[in-house]
Amino acid sequence: MSNKMPDALNIVFISLSVSGQLNIHLASIEHMLILGPTESPPLNIHLISFDPAEKRARTLAASASPRHSFTFHSLGELTLFTETSQNGTIDRHRPAELFRKDGLKPYTYLAELFGYNPDHYIRAYERILEIFKEIKPKINVAAVDTTMPMAMDACTTAGIHWGVLCPNSGIELFKHQQPRLEGFWKHPAAYSGLPFPVPLRLIPYNIALNLSLIKIILTHPRIRALEVRRSKAGIRGGVFNKSFQRLPFFICSSVMEMEFPHIPSPNVVFPGPILVPVPPLSSATYPDLTAFFDRKRTIVINLGSNFWYSHEDVESVADAILDAQQRCQEKESFQVLWKLNGKKAFEIMLENKFGKQSDTVRIDEWIEPDTLAVLQHPNVVAFVNHGGANSVHEAAYAGVPQILLPQWLDLYEYAVRTEWLGHGIYANKGHPAEIVADQLADAFLRVLSDDEGKILKAKSLEIAEACQRGGGVQTVARTLLAAATT
């Protein structure tokens, strides 16, 4: 899988193997592997991740330019999270709340998720150090995902020149570095779903949530056990105590036009969504799907691979579609493409709702073309998603209004922010971790309307232009090459 070249720069990417983190690393690698001689010197690119990433990595190796090489280094089976999250799924939960039983579950879940198994953490840390020694003559720069603190520890121990490449927004990670302590009183506390700016009456509540998060992170038994194990291994500093502001670069998959107003750290790079450009749908590649989209305005529903529908969820979405279609005037009629995980379990109910041959609702277990290719079809008028970073960024890049149904953790903040910025609708507000048919039907009609719908579309196109200006993978490549040669 490796064919190293002399005098090439060694650039290392380190990421978890889950799609939400891995995708932007693979997109950046794919772009850098085809850079020409006027754009970069020869590159030896390395990806360090866990076994599930290897299959996708191999396809990149096959497409590399002869000038460059690509090597995948495995950290073995992904076992860091198995005690908390089985099969990559996440339990749905409400936003963080005070004065409610289990109201701080998002914070304890975060501590459990990133209170990695201590032995597995150190095993990954030591394996990364071994890989560093294998890369000759030296590593010029490493780009590390924020969910890989053991890789950050390894970079620090080995004296590697490194920075961050992550799918997050800038305000998520630098909220508490804002002037006048604005991260505590102006910006919504993490995972709270509170409005921005925080209303005056909720400022004490917001501060209390921030302090609750800090307390849980500092005192949770899993975190403390991990810190003890790290200390025994000679690792300095806390697992969450990283001086990101001192790094040569911190690349966020965002642009300032997609952020709450804030003052970013000088080293933050905003390239916009980090995606590999894909060709639009065509009758040559996907004739059936293209013909479907060509017919009329289409709403695409895709709540992500980590979301699993209950019977009540499917019924709510189906009822919302039927209600909105019934209330639409002929000129406002629309159709739906719905990616439904576990479709087979709901076939009888769906047949009762839509009939076996519904011509306005297409329901698939899997949508083969890339989501970005689907969203770029001119007849797509809205993208219903769960508020995950990749989904939000793909829709923003494509200039498509969004309907958001957040179900856990930071998804609530993405929903609040997208609605506040004017390019989406928070469609289960007041009913967290649920799907309410009436609310969703109203969101369909709002995005289809001649008044609000046009405003949402105009704002979406404005943000898409900002994303294009960000430069995406090209900006990532320039940033890493600059860091590698300084």
- Closest Cα partner for 206 from 178, 234, 230, 184? 184
> Looking at the structure, do residues 245 and 196 belong to the same domain, yes or no?
yes
pLDDT higher than 50, residue 87 = no
Same domain as 322, residue 241 = no
Please check the confidence at residue 306 and state whether its pLDDT lies above 90. no
For 55, the 3-state DSSP assignment is helix
Q: Are residues 171 and 238 in the same domain?
A: yes
Give pLDDT tens digits for 63-82. Answer: 888 999 999 999 998 876 65
Rounded CA separation 15/47 (Å): 8
Tell me the C-alpha distance between 61 and 219, whole Å.
Answer: 44
User: How much is the mean pLDDT over the chain?
Assistant: 93
Amino acid symbol at 378: P
Domain that holds residue 77: 9-272+471-484
pLDDT tens-place string over residues 324-348: 999 987 667 899 999 999 999 999 9
Tell whether 291 and 234 lie within a shared domain.
no
Residue 30 one-letter amino acid:
E
SS3 of residue 340 by DSSP: coil
Q: Which amino acid is at 62?
A: A
Confidence band for 1, pLDDT divided at 50, 70 and 90: low
Residue 109 contacts residue 93 (beta carbons within 8 Å): yes
Residue environment code for 309-337, b if the CB has 16+ CB neighbours within 10 A, otherwise e: beeebbbbbbbbbbbbbeebeeebebbbb
DSSP-derived 3-state class of residue 109: helix
User: CATH code at 335?
Assistant: 3.40.50.2000
380 shares a domain with 476: no
> Does residue 307 share a domain with residue 199?
no
Do 76 and 99 sit in the same domain of this protein?
yes
Same domain for 250 and 335: no
Task: State the distance between the two ends of the chain, measured CA to CA, in whole angstroms.
Answer: 29
> What are 189's two structure tokens?
């506390």
Omega of the bond leading into 197 within 30 degrees of 0 (cis): yes
For residue 313, being part of any structural domain is answered with yes
How many residues are recorded in the chain? 486
Is 3 within a domain?
no
In a domain, 433, yes or no: yes
How big is the chain by its Cα radius of gyration, in Å?
Answer: 23
Same domain, 98 and 161: yes
Instruction: Dump pLDDT digits (tens) for 111-166.
Output: 988 889 999 999 999 999 999 999 999 999 999 999 999 999 999 999 999 999 99
User: Has residue 99 been placed in a domain?
Assistant: yes
The residue with tokens 């719905």 is 338
Helices (H), 159-303: 170-174, 182-185, 203-219, 221-232, 287-295
Please state the domain count of the chain.
2
What sign has the CA pseudo-torsion 260, 265, 270, 275? negative
Judgement on whether residues 255 and 293 belong to the same structural domain of the protein: no
pLDDT of residue 241: 84
Q: Is residue 340 part of a domain?
A: yes
Residues 34, 43: Cα–Cα separation, whole Å:
10
Beta-bridge mates of residue 425: 403
**pLDDT reported for residue 330:** 67
Sign of the Cα pseudo-torsion (91, 79, 108, 265, in order): negative
Reply yes or no on whether the pLDDT at 220 is more than 90: yes
Residue 5 pLDDT level (bands cut at 50, 70, 90): very low
Answer yes or no: is 441 within a domain: yes
- For 14-40, what is each residue's pLDDT tens digit? 999 988 899 999 999 999 999 988 899
Is 391:305 a contact under the CB 8 Å cutoff?
no
Report yes or no on 261 lying in a domain.
yes
Do 144 and 65 share a structural domain?
yes
Residues 218 and 94 in one domain: yes
Q: Does residue 4 carry a pLDDT above 60?
A: no
In a domain, 186, yes or no: yes
Residue 365 one-letter amino acid: E
Q: In this structure, is the dihedral angle defined by the CA atoms of residues 37, 39, 41 and 45, taken in order, positive or negative?
A: negative
Label residue 356 by pLDDT band (50, 70, 90). Answer: low
pLDDT at 294: 96
Rounded Cα distance between 109 and 52, Å, is: 23
Q: What is the DSSP letter of 426?
A: E
Q: What is the pTM of this model?
A: 0.93
The percentage of residues in the chain with a pLDDT greater than 70, rounded to a whole number, is 96
Distances (CA, A) of 219 to 120, 232, 318, 389, 425: 21, 19, 44, 29, 37
Count the Cβ atoms, other than its own, within 10 Å of residue 191: 26
